Chains A and B, each alone.
Chain A
Amino acid sequence: MRQPVKDYRIGIVTPTLSASEDEFRGAVRVAKKYPGMIKHISLPENFQEEQETAITQILSLGDQKDIKAIVICAGFSGILPAIQKVKARRPDMIVITAPIWDDPDMMAKYIDLCLDTDWIKRGITIPEKAQRMGAKTFIHYSFPTHMAKEVLAKRRDIMKETCERLGMKFLALNTPDPKTGAGSTPMLQFLQEDIPRQIAKYGRDTCIFGTNCPMQDVIIAKALELKFIMAEQCCPTPTQGYPAAMELEISEQDAGDFDKINTMIRRKAAEAGCTGRLSTWPVPVGYFFPEFSTEVAMKLIEGELTDIGISSLSPMAKEVAGVDVYFEKMKPDLNNYYLIIMDSIIY
C-alpha cells in the first residue's frame, strides 16, 4: 500500500472527526498511503462561526513552499475567499475541492477541479433503482426546513416526476421538524410509528426515502422488521444507518474496510430475510473524495495528467472506489466542475 516518497507535499483539509467521520478518516487513510507527503488539517468544529480561523488555516498551507496542492473536502460555503487568496500568492498551487459549496461559476474560475455528488440527479437514480428492486410505491419523508432548501426540494420534485414516469405511486410525507424545538427525537418517534402504518397501507413493495441523516437508523431498522425497500439513504454509504440498525460488530482491524463491512451487511440482510431489499453506494463519497482528489492532484503535479475530463477521471475513480463512478458536468460551459454518481451495491 505504501508508495515511494516524493519531494513535495499535499495539504488535505477536512472537518473534524466529530463533525464528519468519513472525510476525516478518508484523509487519515491517504496520509497512511503516502507517509510524509500529506499535511492533514481539520477545520474548526464550529465552522460557520469561525470562518476567519478556517481562512487562516488554508492560507498557512499556501505559505509552505513544499505544498504543491490543496485538497479541500469540507461541504461548507465560505471557503472560496481563502482559495482566492492562496491562488493570488501562489498561482502554481493546484486546488481541488470535493466539495465546497460556493457560487459554482466563481469556483470554476479559481479552482482547478471542483467535485461534488450529483444531489439532484439522485432524484432520478433513486426511484429508478427502487423500481428495479421491485418498488410500486415511493415514500419521501422530509420536513419544512429541508424542503426550504432548493436542492432538496428540487430533488423531491424530480423524484415525483420520475415516479410518475415509471408508474410508481409517489407520496411526500412530513415529519416533525428536527431543526426546531426538541431536536430529532419527535421526528424519529414519528417515523417509528408512521412507517408500519404506511407499510400496512401500501404493502411491502414500498421504497422509503428520508432526507435527514438520523432518520436512516430508524428506516433501516424498520426495513429489517417489515421487509420494505430502502434503495438509498440521504448520504449513500454503508456506514450510515446500517451500523446502528444492524448492530454491526466491526472490530478495530476491520474498521474502514468496506469489503468486509459490505459482506457483513449482506449477511445480516439475508438473516433478516431482506436480500435484495436494501441498497446503497459501496463506499462513502466522503471517504472516496480525499483519496481520489489526492491521486488526481499527484498526477497533475507530476505531469501525468494534463487534460481533466470525464474520460481521464472515470478510470482513476474506478480504481480508487472499486466500482464504476459516473461523472457529469455541473454546467455545460464549466470544464472543471464535475458531479458524480456511484454504482450501487444491492445487499
Chain B
Amino acid sequence: MKRVGVQIPQFFIIFFLILMMFLAFRLEIPLNWIISDALVRLVMNGVLVLSLVPMLRAGIGINFGLPVGVIAGLLGLCMSVNMSIKGLLGLSAGILFSIPFAVALGYGYAGILNRVKGKEEITATFVGFSFIPLMNFFWSTAPFTNPAMLWPIGGKGMRPVIGLKSYFAKALNQLWMVEIAGVRVPIGLLLFFGILCLLLFLFFRTNFGRALKAVGENEQFAGLAGINISRVRAWAVILSTVIGAIGICVYAQSYGFIELYDAPLMMAFPAASAILVGGSMGRHTHIIHVVIGTFLFQTTYLISGPIANELMIPEVAEIFRLMITNGIILYALLYEGGKSHAAV
C-alpha cells in the first residue's frame, strides 16, 4: 500500500514530463535550452528544498516557516552588497554573514515550535507570515548606505529589488560552465549542491545526526534513551534555517536580484511541493527525494510555459501548475493523516 502511495504523484509527474518533452520536440522548442535551464533551476531551488530535510527527519514536519531562513540569508546578502564585495567572494561573504542571523532566528523559531508540538506545520506557516511584515518595516528603515540599494526617490530605506549584476549575479552559475552538445552545464553550481547534499548526508551519520533521526522516528523511545528531545529538535530547526539562508543566497545569485519585502512570503510552498513530489513522506525523507523532487517539479514548470504558449492554451499551464503545487501538498497531508489514522 505504501509503495503505491509514494509512487502516484511521481508517476503522474514523470508521465507528464515525458509527454511534454515529446511535445516540446514536436513544437521545435530547443531542448538544449530547456535542459540547461533545468540544471540551473535544480540547484537554484534545490538548496531551499534541501533545507526542509532536517526538520522533516526530526519529525517536526514541513518547514513552512522557510521565510525565516530566507530573511537571514537576505540580511547576509544585503550586508555583502552594502560592503560592495564582488564576485564569488561577495557570495561567500553573503553566506557567511547570514549564518549568525540564521542561527539566532532559528533558535527563536525553534523555541516557538517546541511549544506547539503536534501543530508545528500550521504554526510555522504563521511564523513565516507574521515575520515578513515585521521585516518589511525593517527594510524600509534599514540603515544600509550603498546608494544602489536605496529607494530612488526618497533616498532612504531599501528598494524592493536590488540588482546584483556588478556584485555577484551568476557568480556560482558561471563557475566552470561548460557546453556539451549545446547544453550549458554549470559544473560549479552542481558541485556546490552536491557538496551540500553530501555534508548533510554525512551529518546524519554522526552521533548527533542519528539522535535527530531517533527523535523523529520515536520520540518516547529517544527520550528514554537519554536524548534531550527539545534540544535536538531545536538544532534541527536551526539547521533547517541555516540551509534555508544558504538557499536564498544561491537563489539570488542565480536570479540576479535580491528580492526584499513580500517576495519570500510564499517561498515555502513550491519547496514543500518539490520534496513531496520527490517521494518524501514525513520522517522518511532522504536527500535523493530532494534531488528527484526538485528536478521533476521545476522541470515540469519550466517546460509547460513555452509549450502552452506555442499551443495557444496558456491558461492550461497555469491550472496545471496550481494543481501540482497545491494538489501534491494536499495528497501528502491526506496520506500522512490517513497513515496515522490507520495506526490508531
Whether B161 contacts A217 by the Cβ 8 Å rule is yes
A261 at the interface (CB under 8 A from B): yes
Whether B270 contacts A186 by the Cβ 8 Å rule is yes
B residues within 8 Å of A by Cβ? 29-30, 33, 37, 41, 136, 140, 146-148, 150-157, 159-166, 255-257, 261-263, 265-267, 269-270, 301-302, 305-306, 308-309, 314-315, 317-318, 321-322, 325-326
A182 at the interface (CB under 8 A from B): yes
Whether A197 contacts B30 by the Cβ 8 Å rule is yes
Return 30 A-B CB contacts under 8 Å, by A number: A18-B136, A21-B153, A21-B154, A144-B315, A144-B318, A173-B309, A174-B308, A175-B305, A176-B318, A181-B326, A182-B267, A182-B269, A186-B321, A190-B301, A192-B256, A193-B37, A197-B306, A217-B161, A221-B165, A244-B257, A246-B163, A248-B147, A248-B152, A249-B146, A250-B152, A252-B156, A254-B155, A255-B150, A255-B153, A284-B153
A177 at the interface (CB under 8 A from B): yes
Selected contact of B155 from candidates A173, A217, A255, CB within 8 Å: A255
Selected contact of B153 from candidates A184, A193, A253, A287, CB within 8 Å: A287
Q: Which residues of A contact B136 (CB under 8 A)?
A: 18
Whether A243 contacts B256 by the Cβ 8 Å rule is no
Q: Which residues of A contact B41 (CB under 8 A)?
A: 189
Q: Considering the chains assembled together, what is the distance between the CA atoms of A313 and B163 in angstroms?
A: 39
Nearest residue in B to A255 (C-beta to C-beta)? B155
Selected contact of B150 from candidates A192, A196, A250, CB within 8 Å: A250
Q: Which residues of B contact A190 (CB under 8 A)?
A: 301, 305
Q: Considering the chains assembled together, what is the distance between the CA atoms of A258 and B178 in angstroms?
A: 43
Whether A189 contacts B255 by the Cβ 8 Å rule is yes
Query: What mask results when residues 193 to 207 of chain A are scored 1 for a CB within 8 Å of chain B, else 0?
Result: 110110010000000
Q: Which residues of B contact A249 (CB under 8 A)?
A: 146-148
Q: Which residues of A contact B309 (CB under 8 A)?
A: 173-174, 194
Q: Considering the chains assembled together, what is the distance between the CA atoms of A284 and B166 in angstroms?
A: 26
Nearest residue in B to A178 (C-beta to C-beta)? B266
Whether A243 contacts B159 by the Cβ 8 Å rule is yes
Q: Considering the chains assembled together, what is the distance between the CA atoms of A248 and B165 in angstroms?
A: 11
Selected contact of A197 from candidates B33, B160, B269, CB within 8 Å: B33
Q: Which residues of B contact A243 (CB under 8 A)?
A: 152, 159, 163
Nearest residue in B to A193 (C-beta to C-beta)? B37
A25 at the interface (CB under 8 A from B): yes
Q: Which residues of B contact A192 (CB under 8 A)?
A: 255-256
Given known contacts A18-B136, A197-B30, A249-B147, is B267 in contact with A185 (CB within 8 Å)?
yes
A180 at the interface (CB under 8 A from B): yes
Given known contacts A247-B163, A247-B166, is B153 in contact with A188 (CB within 8 Å)?
no
A214 at the interface (CB under 8 A from B): yes
Q: Which residues of B contact A175 (CB under 8 A)?
A: 305
Nearest residue in B to A197 (C-beta to C-beta)? B33
Selected contact of B154 from candidates A25, A143, A181, A197, CB within 8 Å: A25
Q: Considering the chains assembled together, what is the distance between the CA atoms of A229 and B30 in angstroms?
A: 23
A256 at the interface (CB under 8 A from B): yes
Q: Which residues of A contact B162 (CB under 8 A)?
A: 244, 247
Q: How far is the CB of B228 from chain A (nearest CB, A)?
A: 37
Q: Considering the chains assembled together, what is the distance between the CA atoms of A190 and B302 in angstroms?
A: 7
Q: How far is the CB of B284 from chain A (nearest CB, A)?
A: 26
A-B residue pairs, 8 tightest by C-beta: A255-B155, A174-B314, A252-B155, A249-B147, A244-B161, A247-B163, A25-B153, A183-B266
Q: How far is the CB of B62 from chain A (nearest CB, A)?
A: 15
Q: How far is the CB of A2 from chain B (nearest CB, A)?
A: 20
Q: Which residues of B contact A253 (CB under 8 A)?
A: 155
Q: How far is the CB of B168 from chain A (nearest CB, A)?
A: 12
Q: Considering the chains assembled together, what is the distance between the CA atoms of A175 and B150 in angstroms?
A: 29
Nearest residue in B to A284 (C-beta to C-beta)? B153
Nearest residue in A to B146 (C-beta to C-beta)? A249
Q: Considering the chains assembled together, what is the distance between the CA atoms of A21 and B160 in angstroms?
A: 11
Q: Which residues of B contact A116 (CB under 8 A)?
A: none
Q: How far is the CB of B210 from chain A (nearest CB, A)?
A: 35
Besides A18-B136, A189-B41, A253-B155, 7 more A-B contacts (Cβ < 8 Å) are: A21-B151, A183-B266, A192-B255, A197-B29, A221-B165, A250-B152, A252-B155
Nearest residue in B to A249 (C-beta to C-beta)? B147
Q: Considering the chains assembled together, what is the distance between the CA atoms of A183 and B325 in angstroms?
A: 12
Q: Which residues of B contact A174 (CB under 8 A)?
A: 305, 308-309, 314-315, 317-318
Q: How far is the CB of B318 from chain A (nearest CB, A)?
A: 5
Q: Which residues of A contact B267 (CB under 8 A)?
A: 182, 185
A22 at the interface (CB under 8 A from B): yes
